[in-house]
Structure 1
Amino acid sequence: MDANFRFYAELNEFLPRDRQYQTLQISFKDRQSVKHLIESSGIPHTEVDLVLVNGQSVDFSYLVRQGDRVAVYPVFESVDITPLLKLRPAPLREARFVLDGHLGRLAAYLRMLGFDSLYRNDYNDQELAKISDEQKRILLTRDRGLLKRSLVTRGYCLRTRDPRQQLLGVVRRFDLLGQVQPFTRCITCNGKLEPVSKTKIEDQLEPLTRKYFQEFSRCEQCGQIYWKGSHHDRMQALLDWLKTESDGNSTDF
């Protein structure tokens, strides 16, 4: 049997160059689910937000028939497709993450922006998939195979190894600028930061820090202390860059 598939926008990045941006005739034996045929083309199902077959929205379990016309779309950032969406009971954009072991710097950046981001460098693939499923977290990875696991319904395949560009990609993909709450999470452990009076922590500060800084925050989980020093300035510069590089119409933060 044969069906015609068309993959739109950035989904073409997962296809061989000679198969991008065109209608593809895909052959298959017996009836296969649309999810299986999408992933056999190299595209993780977590990258897909809408599938239309002969103009009608379907879910991933739909069994493709001879001659079907299948249109596959990526996540929509600015268009509300809720009335059409059949793939999942809820949208992907809940801004809570779990990251694979190669993304420590990205995890720190996301925590700096205030996003709940689980990270350990010793999570195995099964653990990552289970955490994503049970805690409804978006799984961030460069491993396409990991995103094809059936447990994973929320995920994003990073296109670059550069942590700053990875951060920019995640913020754009999930339209996060309006949700940013900088300096509210611990970069080290992901715990929430709370203001703490200088008198309570004075004995833990270096002499120069005690002399020149008055406002402090402390992680309620690990006890790490933060203040507006040079590290804070570097992080603020990154936030300014991110805002400039992202959609200029997004909400200020």
Structure 2
Amino acid sequence: MNRPEIHLSFAPELRLLAAPERREGRTALVTDGSSTLGHVIESLGVPLTEVGRLLVDGHERPASHVPGPGESVEVRPVERPQRVPGAPLRFLLDVHLGTLARRLRLLGVDAAYESEDIGDPELAARSAAERRVLLSRDRGLLRRRELWAGAYVYSERPDEQLRDVLGRFAPRLAPWTRCTACNGLLEEADKDAVRERLEHGTRRTYDVFAQCTACERVYWRGAHHAQLEAIVDGALREFGGAAV
């Protein structure tokens, strides 16, 4: 029995993820005649988390469509900003994205982070249980069916990673409201109430403090504040939000 041949093209934004022989535009592909379009796309290296509209001979089709002989398939990326329905926008980051997690928290974005490698099944299960968008550079992890939602982080550079996530999901920014260590919420703290947690030089130099309501870590505008403020100001200029 002859297996059907289709013609498939990935949008330029997706070609980095595709198998090398599929990066030059429209190419022929022999399928098994029973696999869904979603399965075919993921077998070529592109997680469905990155896929938007699927056009078959110019008509939109779902990922469950089984392509037939001679069909022409165009794979487009997710539209930006991407809306995640049904829950407040929250993220879960894998073990390799610690810097990105801290920067999202700095901007007031709910970003849970696993500092240890707990394994793909548990990460995917937590994404589903807590309805969090899983951010990862592991394409295999993003193909797990139990994921609630996910997104591939394209860059290895934290600055570019942050811009990618903010541009893709447009989360509400509320800088200086979350603990960068644990993701808990911050509240103003009286200096006398946190005095015992401060070094002598800090007590002498600073008067304004905040404290995490979860882990009780204390924050103040110390030596690294200018660097953090530059990150915050840059994000607010480009993506909007309320300075807090």
Name the residue aligned to 1:11: 14
Cα distance in 2 for partners of 1:167, 1:129 equals 22
Q: Which runs of 5+ in 2 are unaligned?
A: none
Report the RMSD for the aligned CA atoms in angstroms.
2.4
Mapped partners of 2:44, 2:167: distance in 1? 25
Query: Structure 1 length normalisation: TM-score?
Result: 0.84
**What one-letter code is carried by the residue in structure 1 that aligns with 2:31?**
F
How far does residue 34 in structure 1 lie from its aligned partner after superposition? Answer: 1.0
Indicate the SS of the match to 2:16: helix
Counterpart of 1:205, as a letter, is L
Identical-pair percentage = 36
Structure 1 residues 122 and 41, CA gap change in structure 2 (3 angstroms):
closer
1:55 aligns with 2:58: yes
Q: Secondary structure at the match of 2:229?
A: helix
| 2:166 aligned with 1:166 | no
Q: Which residue of 2 aligns with 1:134?
A: 129
Matching of residues 1-253 of structure 1 within 5 Å: 1-77=4-80, 91=85, 95-120=89-114, 121-176=116-171, 179-242=172-235, 246=238, 250-251=239-240, 253=242
Q: How far is the alpha carbon of 1:243 from its aligned partner?
A: 5.3
Cα distance in 2, alignment partners of residues 41 and 165 from structure 1 = 25
Describe the shift of the 1:64–1:15 C-alpha distance in structure 2 as closer, same or farther (beyond 3 A): same
Structure 2: how far apart are the matches of 1:134 and 1:62? 28
After superposing on structure 2, the runs of 4+ consecutive aligned residues of structure 1 that deviate more than 6 Å are none
How far is 1:58 from its partner?
A: 2.6
Of stretches 96-105 and 36-45 in structure 1, the one that deviates more from structure 2 is 96-105
Give SS of 1:230's match: coil
Aligned-pair CA distance for 1:26: 1.7
**Cα distance in 2 between the residues matched to 1:163 and 1:143:** 16
* Number of residue pairs matched by the alignment: 238
Q: Check the 8 A contact 1:46/1:147 in 2, yes or no.
A: yes
Gaps of at least 5 residues in structure 1 are: 83-89
TM-score w.r.t. structure 2 length? 0.87
Aligned 8 A contact 1:217 1:227 in 2 = yes
